Structure 1
Amino acid sequence: MLAAYLPGNSTVELREIERPAPGIGQVLLKMKASGICGSDIHYIYHKHLGDDPRTAYQGVVAGHEPAGEVVELGAGCRHFKLGDRVAVYHISGCGFCRNCRKGFQISCTDPARAAYGWQRDGGHAEYLVADERDLVHLPDSLSYRDGCFISCGVGTAYEAVLRGNVSGGDAIVVVGLGPVGMAALMLAKGRGARLAIGVDTQADRVETARGLGLVDHGLVAGAETLGEIELLTRGGAGVTIDCSGNPRGRLLALQATRTWGRCVYIGETGPVQFDVSDDLLHRQRTIYGSWVTSVHNMDQCCEDLDAWGLHPHDIITDAFALDEAAAAYRLMAGGKSGKVIIAFDGA
Structure 2
Amino acid sequence: MVMTETMAGVRLPGDSTVEHVTVAVPSPGHGQVLLAMKASSICGSDIRAIYREHLGHGAEAYRGVIAGHEPCGEVVAVGPGVHRIGVGDRVAVYHIAGCGQCDECRHGYLIGCTAPTRAAYGWQRDGGHAEYLLAEERTCLVLPDELSFADGALVSCGFGTAYEALLRLRVSGLDRLLITGLGPVGLAAAMLGRAMGAGPIIGTDLSPDRLKLAADLGLVDHAVPAGDGAAEAIAELTGGRGAEASIDCSGSAAARELALANTRTWGRCAFVGEGGTVSFAVSELLIHKQITLYGSWVTSVRHMADLLANLARWGLRPDVVVSHRYPLAEAAEAYRVAAEGAGGKVCIVF
TM-score range, shorter chain: over 0.9
Q: CA deviation at 1:278?
A: 1.4
- Of residues 127, 133, 141, the one that matches 2:132 is 127
In structure 2, give the amino acid aligned to 1:267.
Answer: G
- Of residues 338, 342, 348, the one that matches 1:342 is 348
Q: CA deviation at 1:227?
A: 2.2
| Counterpart secondary structure, 1:12 | strand
Instruction: Work out whether 1:221 is the aligned partner of 2:226.
Output: yes
Q: Is the 8 A contact 2:50 2:56 kept in 1?
A: no
State the 4+ residue runs in structure 1 displaced beyond 6 angstroms. none
Per-residue Cα deviation, 1:95-129 (whole angstroms, up to 9, x for no partner): 01000011111110000000001110100111111
Query: In the alignment, what sits opposite 2:14?
Result: 8
Which structure 2 residues correspond to residues 188-267 of structure 1 after superposition, within 5 A?
188-234=193-239, 235-267=241-273
User: Matched residues in 1 for 2:52 and 2:233: separation?
Assistant: 37
Per-residue Cα deviation, 1:313-338 (whole angstroms, up to 9, x for no partner): 00000110011111111111111121
| Counterpart secondary structure, 1:156 | helix
Instruction: Work out whether 1:302 is the aligned partner of 2:308.
Output: yes
| Counterpart secondary structure, 2:128 | coil
Q: CA deviation at 1:223?
A: 2.4
Unaligned runs of 5+ in 1: none
User: Matched residues in 1 for 2:192 and 2:341: separation?
Assistant: 22
Query: In the alignment, what sits opposite 1:173?
Result: 178
| Percent identity over paired residues | 56
Query: In the alignment, what sits opposite 1:317?
Result: 323
User: Matched residues in 2 for 1:176 and 1:139: separation?
Assistant: 29
In structure 2, give the amino acid aligned to 1:29.
Answer: L
Per-residue Cα deviation, 1:149-172 (whole angstroms, up to 9, x for no partner): 111111111111111111011100
Q: CA deviation at 1:222?
A: 2.7
Q: Is the 8 A contact 2:109 2:299 kept in 1?
A: yes
| Counterpart secondary structure, 1:291 | coil
User: Matched residues in 2 for 1:51 and 1:9: separation?
Assistant: 17
User: Matched residues in 2 for 1:207 and 1:169: separation?
Assistant: 26
Per-residue Cα deviation, 1:259-290 (whole angstroms, up to 9, x for no partner): 11100000111111222221111111110000
User: Matched residues in 2 for 1:7 and 1:270: separation?
Assistant: 22
Give the number of aligned pairs: 343
Query: In the alignment, what sits opposite 1:105?
Result: 110
Query: In the alignment, what sits opposite 1:20?
Result: 26
Instruction: Work out whether 1:186 is the aligned partner of 2:191.
Output: yes
In structure 2, give the amino acid aligned to 1:111.
Answer: P
User: Matched residues in 1 for 2:15 and 2:228: separation?
Assistant: 37
User: Matched residues in 2 for 1:50 and 1:166: separation?
Assistant: 32
Instruction: Work out whether 1:39 is the aligned partner of 2:45.
Output: yes
Q: CA deviation at 1:69?
A: 0.6
Unaligned runs of 5+ in 2: 1-6
In structure 1, give the amino acid aligned to 2:272.
Answer: I
User: Matched residues in 1 for 2:56 and 2:203: separation?
Assistant: 34
In structure 2, give the amino acid aligned to 1:270.
Answer: G
User: Matched residues in 1 for 2:25 and 2:310: separation?
Assistant: 35
User: Matched residues in 2 for 1:335 and 1:276: separation?
Assistant: 30
Q: CA deviation at 1:50?
A: 4.7
User: Matched residues in 1 for 2:156 and 2:16: separation?
Assistant: 24
User: Matched residues in 2 for 1:210 and 1:232: separation?
Assistant: 16
User: Matched residues in 1 for 2:219 and 2:57: separation?
Assistant: 40
Q: CA deviation at 1:224?
A: 2.1
In structure 1, give the amino acid aligned to 2:108.
Answer: G
| Counterpart secondary structure, 1:5 | strand
User: Matched residues in 1 for 2:14 and 2:199: separation?
Assistant: 43
Q: Is the 8 A contact 2:211 2:223 kept in 1?
A: yes
Which structure 2 residues correspond to residues 52-71 of structure 1 after superposition, within 5 A?
52=58, 55-71=60-76
Q: Is the 8 A contact 2:72 2:152 kept in 1?
A: yes
Q: CA deviation at 1:207?
A: 0.7
